[in-house]
Amino acid sequence: MKRGDFLEVEISDVDHKGDGVGKIRDIECVVRRGLPGDIIEGRIVKKRRKRIELEIVRIISCRIKRIAKHCIHFGVCGGCRWQYISYKDQLKVKELMVHKALVRKNLSPKNIEPILPSLDTFYYRNKMEFSFAAGLDGEIQLGLHMRGRYNRIFNIEKCYLQSAGSNLLVDAFRTGAKLYELEPYNLKTHEGLLRFLVVRETKASGQLMVNLVVAEYPNLLVDKLINYVCERVPYLSDVLVSKHSGKAQVALGEKLYVLRGNGYIEESCGDYKLKISPQSFYQTNSRQAERLYTIIRNWVGKEVGSILDLYSGTGSISLYLASSAKQVIGIEQIKSATIDAMWNAEKNTVCNCKFVSASVEDFLINLTDTNFDLVIIDPPRPGVQPKVLRRLSEIRPPRIIYVSCNVKTLVEDLAEIVTYGYEIERLQPVDMFPQTPHCEIICELKKFG
């Protein structure tokens, strides 16, 4: 087998990226846009030892029907990979992904609840991150990454994930950047000005906040660009500029400037008002987040005692659980998120939540009072650090609730935690990310004995 060869493959599974997986003898075949039940003819586009990647040339037969795509960027964009199948089928495949991931690690939860569908299947995201780059013709681009290409951007005309207001903002920034002949940042030469545009909005009130990440500020041309955008999008509530002079390609900066508004937005979640700053983590699907937190609260029950909330972000889970506990301690590394959490507790008159700004690893290593009735874990996509898991094996709380957006790292961590003397009581997939292969998963573990 070599690149360019044509093969017939039957797809039996999907990987964590949402691509179809089949086998020919002992060689794993990963098929882009393949789905379980497909028999396809494909062309090899990548070849590694014991693994090949194929693109579909022809679908010979299928079990899951393809539908028309909404977006003109589908196939180029790395975002909505599953827009070509119905939402009902997306949910079925996500459940299959969760079940098979558990089986591969020999994990057997006592109870697996059906996946909870999202209330919205389009325009559900409250945050989008867009990148600036130069096109092949040298003209400035503002959009999203091409699939699998960290250094290639395409101009986005309309995105169905955030809102119409977000699309207007992207167009205004791109048009203004061209008008004032502003240069995008070049990853090779490390020259240029414009790097990222981060758009956040509240779904309840429609507040819009933008954070323009640039290589140099103060800068008169950047000010002209901001004024141009504000004239065309007058309902823009908060405008910030982040100066990022380092080489790392991340939408963060060493200094933040607030040019309009308070520098944060307030999202409603159930009975709570939550302050969200530019760098603070909050679930990207606001309406579904409320349902996610309600499930967690129902699982926790009443009169729990002491709760430790690891990777607590802006404190949303802690606040939801405050009425069920004597005290809740939230640990979050990002300082601005911890400040938001403290503000949120005060704003919502919650008095039994304490928030600490520290890395989870450092906090647990130095922790002396380990008498917690419940530990909540809601880590980033890479999962829990090994040292944190080892420390949990020493603390051994009666219950652990693990919330994850990455089934691959979740089952790896669960396989480790069960060796500490825990059993998986129940598991609930919650779809926070329609049109993508991802979903949130809540898992409750109880200590034996």
Q: What's the predicted TM-score (pTM) here?
A: 0.93
Is pLDDT at 128 greater than 80 in this prediction? yes
**Residue 204's pLDDT is what?**
86
Task: Give the 3-state secondary structure of residue 323.
Answer: helix
**Residue 136's pLDDT is what?**
80
Architecture of the domain defined by 92-120+285-447: 3-Layer(aba) Sandwich (3.40)
**DSSP assignment of 340-403:** HHHHHHHHTT--SEEEEES-HHHHHHH------SEEEE---TT---HHHHHHHHHH--SEEEEE
Could you tell me the CA-to-CA distances from 269 to 174, 278, 429 in Å, in that order?
33, 18, 20
Is pLDDT at 417 greater than 80 in this prediction? yes
**Distance (Å, whole) CA 115 – CA 155:** 34
Question: pLDDT > 90: what percent of the chain?
Answer: 85
Least confident of 77-86, 216-225, 307-316, 407-416: 77-86
Identify the band that residue 152 occupies on the pLDDT scale cut at 50, 70 and 90: confident
Could you tell me the CA-to-CA distances from 281 to 12, 90, 185 in Å, in that order?
36, 26, 25
Q: Are 159 and 97 in contact (CB under 8 A)?
A: no
**Residue 160's pLDDT is what?**
93
**Distance (Å, whole) CA 158 – CA 404:** 29
The whole-number average pLDDT for the span 325-334 is 96
Q: Are 135 and 156 in contact (CB under 8 A)?
A: no
pLDDT in tens, 219-271: 999 999 999 999 999 999 999 999 999 988 888 889 999 999 999 999 999 99
The whole-number average pLDDT for the span 156-179 is 93
| Catalytic option among 159, 353, 405, 439 | 405
Identify the band that residue 7 occupies on the pLDDT scale cut at 50, 70 and 90: very high
447, β-bridge pairs:
422
Is pLDDT at 126 greater than 80 in this prediction? yes
Q: Residue ranges per domain, the chain?
A: 6-64, 92-120+285-447, 127-267
92-120+285-447 and 6-64 share a CATH fold: no
Is pLDDT at 280 greater than 90 in this prediction? no
- Name the fold adopted by 127-267: OB fold (Dihydrolipoamide Acetyltransferase, E2P) (2.40.50)
Is pLDDT at 415 greater than 90 in this prediction? yes
**Residue 135's pLDDT is what?**
86
Please say if 405 is a catalytic residue.
yes
**Residue 79's pLDDT is what?**
83
Neighbours of 384 (CB within 10 A): 23
CATH no., domain 6-64: 2.40.50.140
Task: Give the 3-state secondary structure of residue 144.
Answer: strand
Identify the band that residue 428 occupies on the pLDDT scale cut at 50, 70 and 90: very high
Least confident of 54-58, 66-70, 256-260, 372-376: 66-70
